[in-house]
Amino acid sequence: MKNLDKTVLALFIILLVLTVATIYVYSNKILYPRINNEAIAKEYEEELKREKPDIITVTEKKTPEDEKLNLKSMSETDRVHKYFMEYINNVDLGNYEKAYSYLYPEFKQNYFADFATFENYVKTTYPEYMIIQYEDISMQGKYYILTVVIYDAISQAEITNAREQRFIIYENDFGDFSISFQI
Amino acid sequence: MDQRLRSVIIKFFKKYGRTIIIVLIIWIIILTINFFVGKIDTEIKVDTNYKPHEAVMENGEVPENLQDPIEELIGQFVENCNNKDYEAAFNLLSDDCKKNVYPDMELFKMYVDTIFNTKKIYNIQNFSNKDNRYIYTVNILNDILASGLNGEEDDDVYSEKYVVFEENGELKLSIREYIGRDELTYMYEDDEMKIRIESVDRNYDYISYNLRITNKSENYIVFADYSEDYEIALETSEGFKRMANDVLETIDVMDGETKEFNLKYTIFFDEDTKINDMLFDYVRIYKDKESYENGEKPIDDFGIKIMF
């Protein structure tokens, strides 16, 4: 009799714990309930997508807000490098209009009054395949001066193709920058 | 069976009920705290090395409520200078700066035209703070973002100290490292002379006393010709004398004449040095200027100490 009482009690406690655990797991959606009916399952999945879109779209492009947060959490040097790479990658990929849009307006006016001049400059100045080496970074107040050496990736042994250039980067806001450079 | 089970359960809860309730309460508290803490938005601290309001000299801080207004004031001044709006730039200066550094508007225009010969950008760095005066190092350079560092002088940086403080409820600027002027009423008088120390102009790295000396006698008096060290010195709380900076002119007064002189001493504004007195260590009285120039001995020589 006593053994039976203890067994019952133990079972009761186990049942209680399982009940609490189930409620917790379900309320935090750690495990989803299994639904056998296909129609209901499909409707449930769509409901889930609406509730938690980021679970389904985790591989999609980050929102501007996410990008901003990402930039904010970066070190200053990394941010400057990112901005520079944003510009030079567009040059490298032939997205000259995008690269042109990053130029500081007064700098554009002074040196590349029209897009064709800029396009001609980058085509004749930069090799088709580039290697970038960061040499130095300095600041004048809020202006970053980045010194890089750009090598021709194909003939990198020929140092005559290495070009040291200074780029001036100004961060208007996170993700929004202006750039100019030594010609 | 049921009755037995019920009885067991009741006994169990009677025995352990209090413990279970306490554990439940603690668990609920932890969950609640966790829930609210999870809702708090943590502000991301942006990494930057540009901290314009952190003093280099580590003496005092610029109050937070003044940081933006100071930046705006200096920005406005630079913009006015860039636009050659001399009047607007001049009006941002303190009264003392206007009166004592640029008593003539043409002088100020010359300063603006020299420094702001092309469009300039600037950056600031708090250098030192004392007596509600906030001293900033201001670097002025060509607009490198517009030029892309392609100009010959793009690497040149002009640097000076601007002092910002409140005057009549408004923030004002004092440029060229000038702090301000204090009017003084220190004096020495005897039968032969009257020495008045009328005011002191304070710059960041030196002070300048403005003296008016009257020769009441019929002789020629020399106060300093820099033939000796410390002819006119300041005695300070440090316990030693401060010599006047190099002066080219002799401090001398002809019979019956009154002249004004200016004496500079290297004393930094943010030093804690107290000036106790001005010492005229070697005052010489000659019959006339010719006797002095011929190398004759003075009729009399003595020292004068004017206590502050």
pLDDT at B120 over 70: yes
- B12 within a domain of the structure (yes/no): no
What CATH number does residue B129 fall under?
3.10.450.50
Range of lowest pLDDT (A32-36, A121-125, B272-276, B302-306):
A32-36
Tell me if B279 sits within 8 A of B209, measured CB to CB. Answer: no
pLDDT the model gives residue A36: 56
pLDDT the model gives residue B1: 58
* CATH annotation of A65-181: 3.10.450.50
Nearest chain A alpha carbon to B146: A107
The continuous run of DSSP H or E covering B49 comes out as none
Distance from CA of A94 to the nearest CA of B (A): 22
Task: Name the pairing type of β-strands B193-203 and B251-253.
Answer: unpaired
pLDDT at A159 over 70: no
Distance from CA of B87 to the nearest CA of A (A): 27
Number of A/B CB contacts below 8 angstroms equals: 77
pLDDT the model gives residue B136: 96
Q: Is A9 exposed, middle or buried (0-12, 13-18, 19+ CB in 10 A)?
A: middle
Nearest-by-Cβ selection for B123 from A5, A142, A178: A142
Tell me if B207 sits within 8 A of B200, measured CB to CB. Answer: yes
Tell me if B223 sits within 8 A of B252, measured CB to CB. Answer: yes
pLDDT the model gives residue B80: 97
pLDDT the model gives residue A58: 45
Range of the domain at B263: 180-307
Q: Left, alpha or beta for B230 (phi > 0: left; psi -120 to 50: alpha)?
A: left
Contact A141 B124 (CB under 8 A): yes
Q: Pick from B150, B176, B202: which residue ends a domain?
A: B176
For chain B, list residues whose CB is within 8 angstroms of any CB belonging to chain A. Answer: 4-5, 8-9, 12, 44, 46-50, 52, 121-124, 139, 141, 143-150, 157
Range of lowest pLDDT (B65-79, B87-101, B149-163):
B149-163
- B35 within a domain of the structure (yes/no): no
Model confidence over B221-259: pLDDT tens digits?
A: 999 988 877 889 999 988 888 888 866 678 999 999 999
ipTM over 0.85 threshold: no
Shared domain for B281 and B241, answered yes or no, is: yes
Question: How would DSSP label each residue in B22-33?
Answer: HHHHHHHHHHHH
Nearest chain A alpha carbon to B150: A182
What CATH number does residue B229 fall under?
2.60.40
Shared domain for B223 and B246, answered yes or no, is: yes
pLDDT at B305 over 80: yes
Contact A8 B141 (CB under 8 A): no
Model confidence over A21-80: pLDDT tens digits?
A: 878 877 776 655 555 556 666 776 777 666 655 444 444 556 778 888 888 888 999 999
- B285 within a domain of the structure (yes/no): yes
pLDDT at B156 over 80: yes
CA angle B193, B196, B200 (to 5 degrees): 150
Q: What are phi and psi of B269, to 5 degrees?
A: -60, -35
Residues of A in contact with B147 (CB under 8 A): 107, 110, 180
- Strands of the sheet containing A176-181, edge to edge, are A130-140, A143-152, A163-173, A176-181
Nearest-by-Cβ selection for A12 from B9, B52, B124: B9
**How many CB atoms within 10 Å of residue B47?**
13
A181 touches B at CB < 8 Å: yes
Residues of B in contact with A110 (CB under 8 A): 146-148
Model confidence over B1-16: pLDDT tens digits?
A: 578 888 888 888 888 8
CA distance B157 to A182: 18
pLDDT the model gives residue B9: 82
Shared domain for B171 and B225, answered yes or no, is: no
Q: Pick from B176, B199, B232: which residue ends a domain?
A: B176
Shared domain for B156 and B206, answered yes or no, is: no
Nearest-by-Cβ selection for A140 from B46, B47, B123: B123
A142 touches B at CB < 8 Å: yes
Distance from CA of B170 to the nearest CA of A (A): 26
Residues 6+ apart with CB under 8 A from B73: B92, B164, B171, B172, B173
Residues of B in contact with A10 (CB under 8 A): none
Model confidence over A97-132: pLDDT tens digits?
A: 999 999 999 999 999 999 999 999 999 998 888 888
Residues of A in contact with B145 (CB under 8 A): 104, 106-107, 143, 168, 170, 178, 180
CA distance B192 to B189: 8
Contact B48 A73 (CB under 8 A): no
Contact B144 A72 (CB under 8 A): no
A12 touches B at CB < 8 Å: yes
> Average pLDDT in the B36-60 region?
80
Task: Name the pairing type of β-strands B241-243 and B232-236.
Answer: antiparallel
- B145 within a domain of the structure (yes/no): yes
The tokens for B85 are 């709006």
Q: Pick from B176, B207, B235: which residue ends a domain?
A: B176
Q: Left, alpha or beta for B272 (phi > 0: left; psi -120 to 50: alpha)?
A: alpha
Nearest-by-Cβ selection for A180 from B44, B50, B148: B148
Shared domain for B220 and B187, answered yes or no, is: yes
Return mean pLDDT, chain B.
91
**How many CB atoms within 10 Å of residue B160?**
14
Shared domain for B194 and B287, answered yes or no, is: yes
Shared domain for B206 and B294, answered yes or no, is: yes
Shared domain for B233 and B261, answered yes or no, is: yes
- B52 within a domain of the structure (yes/no): no
Indicate the number of domains in chain B: 2
Q: Which one has a higher pLDDT value, A18 or B182?
A: B182
Q: Left, alpha or beta for B295 (phi > 0: left; psi -120 to 50: alpha)?
A: left
Distance from CA of A26 to the nearest CA of B (A): 16
Q: Coil, strand, or helix at residue B2?
A: helix
The one-letter amino acid at A168: I
Give the confidence band of B112 by pLDDT, cuts at 50, 70, 90: very high
pLDDT the model gives residue A33: 54
Shared domain for B76 and B158, answered yes or no, is: yes
CA distance B60 to A91: 48
Shared domain for B226 and B288, answered yes or no, is: yes
Contact A141 B144 (CB under 8 A): no
Give the confidence band of A10 by pLDDT, cuts at 50, 70, 90: confident
Instruction: Select the residue from B14, B43, B145, B157 to test the A interface by mutation, using most A Cβ atoms within 10 A.
Output: B145
Range of lowest pLDDT (B48-52, B91-95, B114-118, B282-286):
B48-52
Give the confidence band of A161 by pLDDT, cuts at 50, 70, 90: low
Shared domain for B124 and B220, answered yes or no, is: no
Contact B150 A9 (CB under 8 A): no
Q: pTM higher than 0.80 for the full model?
A: no
Residues of A in contact with B46 (CB under 8 A): 72
CA distance B94 to B89: 11
* Percent of the residues in chain A that have a pLDDT greater than 90, as a whole number: 45
Nearest-by-Cβ selection for B150 from A106, A170, A183: A183
Name the CA dihedral angle for B54, B60, B61, B63, rounded to a multiple of 10 degrees: -160
A92, A150, B212, B232 from A127: Cα distances, Å: 9, 9, 73, 70
pLDDT the model gives residue A56: 44
Model confidence over B203-226: pLDDT tens digits?
A: 999 999 999 999 999 999 999 988
Nearest chain A alpha carbon to B122: A141
Provide the residue ranges of all domains of chain A, joining segments of one domain with +: 2-60, 65-181
Shared domain for B245 and B165, answered yes or no, is: no
